Chains A and B, each alone.
Chain A
Amino acid sequence: MNTFESSIPLIHNSVNIMTPFLLAAMGGLFTELSGMLNIALEGLMLFGAFFSVVFAYYTGSLFFGVLLGITVTMALSLVFGSITLYLKANVFITGLATNLFASGFTVVLAFHLFGNKGVILFQDLPELPKLTIPLLQKLPFIGDLFINHNIFVYLSWLVVIAAYLVIYKTPFGMHVRGTGLNARAIKSLGLNPRKYQLSAILISGFTCGLAGAVLTLNLGAFIPNMTSGRGWIALVVIYLGNRTPLGVLIASFIFGFAESFSNYAQGSINIPADFILAFPYLITVAALILHSMWKHYRVEAR
């Protein structure tokens, strides 16, 4: 696409590719901190992907597409959260159910609306706005990292900053973290742990909706199950990022880079394609092993 405008395309692409991971993981971080394993990220993201492009198509506006896409995704997360928290269902089962539901429902609805179960192209979507500063984007590395990205990239950074502020600088963030660390203590203070868990799930609905929008609006198309495991990788990213916003940012970049590298290598390096395609996942596994070894070591050292 625009890789030629940039001096190190690998880096530039990494930043683009990491954005959905980063967004999904940032919302997942909230649920994680509130003490719940949110495996529904995948399904939520898929919902966001489908509904933002569909609404953008019908309204002819990117803004309303994203807004409505996020709203629908948050509604799904509200259902997921309420069933988990108030009907006391197992969060793993409800998360799995959310993923299966999202996967099936988007395909069925796509077929219903567009008569197509496969790839749906949306031709006349407006272009995504981009930040272009010709002077700066020629700068190697800095230019690649920061300039000439679409609006979602910058939005995702705002989300990171906001997440950092909310988690560490507000009473709400303290209560969310407190809930994850010792829900009984939170309860003994007269606060309601479930309220914070539900809020965290809603936040993950918000960021996953946005993450999904990034996928489809970038591409101008919806492909069934197009999240293809990104929600799961986002979970890994949360752990690798040591459950902090900054850590999640760095871990996302590593995954973005891995995928970007795998895309690049397919065209230029003489390695079997299967291996190259598996590269991001190999990175995932390797990173998880290293992470658990490091944790183990830290515990031993104490």
Chain B
Amino acid sequence: MSYLEMRGIIRLYKESGVLANDKVDLSVEKNEIHAIVGENGAGKSTLMKILHGLERPDQGTITFRGREVSIANPLDADRLGIGMVHQHFQLIPQFTICENIVLGIEPKKYSIFFDREKARGRVMGIIKEYGFKIEPGLTVSQLTFGQMQLVEILKMLYRQADLLILDEPTSVLTEQEIKKLFTTLRNLKKIGKTVIIITHKLNEVKEISDRVTVMRKGKVAAVKKTAEVDRKELSRLMVGKSVLYDIERAELTRGLPVLELKEVTLRQKNQDMPLLDKLNLTVHASEIVGVAGVGGNGLAELEDVVTGLRRISSGEIYYNNNRITNSTIHELREQGLCYVPADRLYRGSSLRSSVKENMIITNSRNFQKAGIMSQKRVQDFADTLTAKYSIDGDTALPIGYLSGGNIQKVILARELEAKADFIVFSEPAWGLDIASSEFVYKKILQLREQGSAILLISSDLQEILTLADRVVVMYKGRIAADLANREITKEIIGEYMHGIRGDFEVK
């Protein structure tokens, strides 16, 4: 029996209908560094939250140190010696390092007061014992990301964790900070601790881990000894085998450029690395350009920039040869842009408005007579759309009452009906079942045949390969590859996504 055994873990998020973990088994040996990899949404964080008691599994058992345990909340996990650093820092910026570390299990004075001196003493003890250098009196908001990470680790050590879980600890760190972190992890291993680390960076997996579990779509795809796999194989395991949809993409000759990005750069305040680094990209009429990439490499930013939600720092954007750099989303919509966001709940819809209001929200003018809405026209339009897109739900109810998939269909219906000449899709099939996805795909291809230029931003490589004429892969804010969709495979895209291929060095 291994040190940690998670068996048959199932977790369904009822709110989103996502089966985040589907009979997942994970076993970790004592004193190893175990990596977990997988694409965005594969269910890695969910599995770790279950192990740390922040989520309850619907089914499955956890055995730790040979005993079956029930972990109902993080305090239980702490007691067992399981600590976790979350994907996003869970620190209180206005508190000091010391306060953050002891929060929840503070030493007390006269049994009601917080004993600051004792807390500081203990924290200093931990810092010294593990050979770190940091002043516990500093306020967390003054720290660098690397130092914040250290505070998170100290939080675990203060709670005497023996099994340390780190969920994407490196994504916000600089190269030097990552080096330091890895040294720390190796030292912790030396003194007998066990580490689970989630990362998207395959070179890090190779560098730090002893074994690796690959997750894909809520399941475990493989468990390997790190020494026995290379990055290519890992990348292949992550993206999985191809499933083919019953969809034909007609041969079309592409038309004139519709959207052109020239040297588009997006910077963030106080950050050296630009989020988008001199992007050059053209989308033509009758063409679908698919954009792939691992989260955090500039996809979301590209989406924001082309839809006018974020102002670029430098460069130009042209739309039908008109300069539209830094136009607002409203201006762009007036000119003929359509946008189906991934974040449907907050960006795509007004949750408290009714389904029909959401259907006409972008072109309400067409339903007015002398400035007054014609309820009949609105209702007719809504009925047509619900029938055509098989939307399940009362059009008079707030859209927030529909299931995720149906909300998605409402927004798709609205945007597809607008027949714009430039459309941005972000994850168009999220939350849809296979039949609905196929329907949407056919619609998208139909728009292409009608001459629209389409930018398809997606984490689903199969979707991109099914629909796109060209595939653009983003890596670290740049375009790592711009490939015609001929004889390319998921594996090749995956390698570009993880920086295994690519003709440039990253500084």
Say how far B344's CB is from chain A's closest CB, in angstroms. 21
Is A282 interfacial (CB 8 A cutoff)?
Answer: no
Query: Knowing that A189-B75, A191-B104 are A-B contacts, what are 19 other residue pairs whose CB atoms are under 8 Å apart, sorted by A's residue number?
Result: A165-B113, A171-B106, A174-B106, A175-B104, A177-B92, A181-B92, A181-B93, A181-B94, A182-B92, A185-B91, A186-B104, A187-B54, A188-B84, A188-B86, A189-B74, A189-B104, A190-B53, A190-B75, A190-B77
- Contact check, A190 vs B74: say whether CB atoms are below 8 A apart: yes
- Contact check, A185 vs B78: say whether CB atoms are below 8 A apart: no
Query: B112-128, CB under 8 A of A: which get 1 and which 0?
Result: 11100000000000000
Query: B378-396, CB under 8 A of A: which get 1 and which 0?
Result: 0000000000000000000
Query: B25-65, CB under 8 A of A: which get 1 and which 0?
Result: 00000000000000000000000000001100000000000
- Contact check, B93 vs A188: say whether CB atoms are below 8 A apart: no
In the complex, what distance in Å separates the CA atom of A263 from the CA atom of B243? 81
- Contact check, B112 vs A178: say whether CB atoms are below 8 A apart: no
Is A170 interfacial (CB 8 A cutoff)?
Answer: yes
- Chain B contacts with A in 64-87, Cβ cutoff 8 A: 73-78, 84, 86
Name the prevailing secondary structure of the B interface residues: loop
Say how far B353's CB is from chain A's closest CB, in angstroms. 17
- Contact check, B92 vs A169: say whether CB atoms are below 8 A apart: no
Known interface pairs A182-B91, A182-B92, A182-B93. Does A189 touch B113 (Cβ–Cβ under 8 Å)? no
Say how far A295's CB is from chain B's closest CB, in angstroms. 16
Is A130 interfacial (CB 8 A cutoff)?
Answer: no
- Contact check, B103 vs A188: say whether CB atoms are below 8 A apart: no
- Contact check, B106 vs A178: say whether CB atoms are below 8 A apart: no
- Contact check, A182 vs B90: say whether CB atoms are below 8 A apart: yes
Query: A216-233, CB under 8 A of B: which get 1 and which 0?
Result: 000000000000000000
Is A184 interfacial (CB 8 A cutoff)?
Answer: yes
Say how far A182's CB is from chain B's closest CB, in angstroms. 5
Is B182 interfacial (CB 8 A cutoff)?
Answer: no
- Contact check, B73 vs A190: say whether CB atoms are below 8 A apart: yes
Known interface pairs A174-B99, A181-B93, A182-B93. Does A188 touch B54 (Cβ–Cβ under 8 Å)? yes
Closest to A192 in B: B73
Interface-central residue, A165, A182, A186, A189, by most chain B CB under 10 Å: A189
Is B145 interfacial (CB 8 A cutoff)?
Answer: no
Say how far A17's CB is from chain B's closest CB, in angstroms. 33
- Contact check, A170 vs B112: say whether CB atoms are below 8 A apart: yes
- Contact check, A178 vs B114: say whether CB atoms are below 8 A apart: no
| B contact residues around A190 at 8 Å (CB) | 53, 73-78, 104
By a beta-carbon cutoff of 8 Å, the part of chain A in contact with chain B is 165, 169-171, 173-175, 177-178, 181-182, 184-191
In the complex, what distance in Å separates the CA atom of A72 from the CA atom of B92? 35
Known interface pairs A181-B93, A188-B54, A189-B104. Does A174 touch B114 (Cβ–Cβ under 8 Å)? yes
- Contact check, B74 vs A188: say whether CB atoms are below 8 A apart: yes
Is B347 interfacial (CB 8 A cutoff)?
Answer: no
Say how far B297's CB is from chain A's closest CB, in angstroms. 25
| A contact residues around B95 at 8 Å (CB) | 174, 177-178, 181
- Contact check, A170 vs B93: say whether CB atoms are below 8 A apart: no
By a beta-carbon cutoff of 8 Å, the part of chain B in contact with chain A is 53-54, 73-78, 84, 86, 90-95, 99, 103-104, 106, 108, 112-114
- Contact check, B113 vs A184: say whether CB atoms are below 8 A apart: no
- Contact check, B78 vs A169: say whether CB atoms are below 8 A apart: no
Say how far B141's CB is from chain A's closest CB, in angstroms. 10
Name the prevailing secondary structure of the A interface residues: helix
- Contact check, A174 vs B73: say whether CB atoms are below 8 A apart: no
- Contact check, A171 vs B54: say whether CB atoms are below 8 A apart: no
Say how far A196's CB is from chain B's closest CB, in angstroms. 12
Closest to A189 in B: B104
In the complex, what distance in Å separates the CA atom of A173 from the CA atom of B113? 10
Say how far A33's CB is from chain B's closest CB, in angstroms. 11
In the complex, what distance in Å separates the CA atom of A165 from the CA atom of B78? 29
Known interface pairs A169-B114, A170-B113. Does A189 touch B103 (Cβ–Cβ under 8 Å)? yes
In the complex, what distance in Å separates the CA atom of A171 from the CA atom of B94? 15
- Contact check, A185 vs B54: say whether CB atoms are below 8 A apart: no
In the complex, what distance in Å separates the CA atom of A189 from the CA atom of B86? 11
Closest to A173 in B: B114
| B contact residues around A174 at 8 Å (CB) | 95, 99, 103, 106, 114
| B contact residues around A182 at 8 Å (CB) | 90-93
| A contact residues around B112 at 8 Å (CB) | 170
In the complex, what distance in Å separates the CA atom of A178 from the CA atom of B99? 10
CB-CB nearest 4 A-B residue pairs: A190-B74, A190-B75, A185-B90, A189-B104
Say how far B148's CB is from chain A's closest CB, in angstroms. 12
| A contact residues around B74 at 8 Å (CB) | 188-190
- Contact check, B92 vs A185: say whether CB atoms are below 8 A apart: yes
In the complex, what distance in Å separates the CA atom of A184 from the CA atom of B90? 7
List 8 A-B residue pairs with CB atoms under 8 Å apart, sorted by A's residue number: A169-B114, A177-B94, A177-B95, A178-B92, A178-B95, A181-B92, A182-B90, A189-B104
Say how far B98's CB is from chain A's closest CB, in angstroms. 11
In the complex, what distance in Å separates the CA atom of A178 from the CA atom of B74? 17
Say how far A231's CB is from chain B's closest CB, in angstroms. 28
Interface-central residue, A175, A182, A184, A186, by most chain B CB under 10 Å: A182
In the complex, what distance in Å separates the CA atom of A234 from the CA atom of B92? 27
In the complex, what distance in Å separates the CA atom of A160 from the CA atom of B470? 67
Which listed residue, B53, B84, B114, touches A170 by the CB 8 Å rule? B114
In the complex, what distance in Å separates the CA atom of A165 from the CA atom of B84? 32
| B contact residues around A170 at 8 Å (CB) | 112-114
| B contact residues around A185 at 8 Å (CB) | 90-92, 103
| A contact residues around B93 at 8 Å (CB) | 181-182
In the complex, what distance in Å separates the CA atom of A178 from the CA atom of B112? 18
Closest to A182 in B: B92
Say how far A273's CB is from chain B's closest CB, in angstroms. 46
| B contact residues around A173 at 8 Å (CB) | 114
- Contact check, B90 vs A188: say whether CB atoms are below 8 A apart: yes
Closest to A168 in B: B114
In the complex, what distance in Å separates the CA atom of A169 from the CA atom of B92? 17
Interface-central residue, A165, A173, A174, by most chain B CB under 10 Å: A174
In the complex, what distance in Å separates the CA atom of A76 from the CA atom of B73? 31
Say how far A170's CB is from chain B's closest CB, in angstroms. 6
Say how far B15's CB is from chain A's closest CB, in angstroms. 13
| A contact residues around B73 at 8 Å (CB) | 190
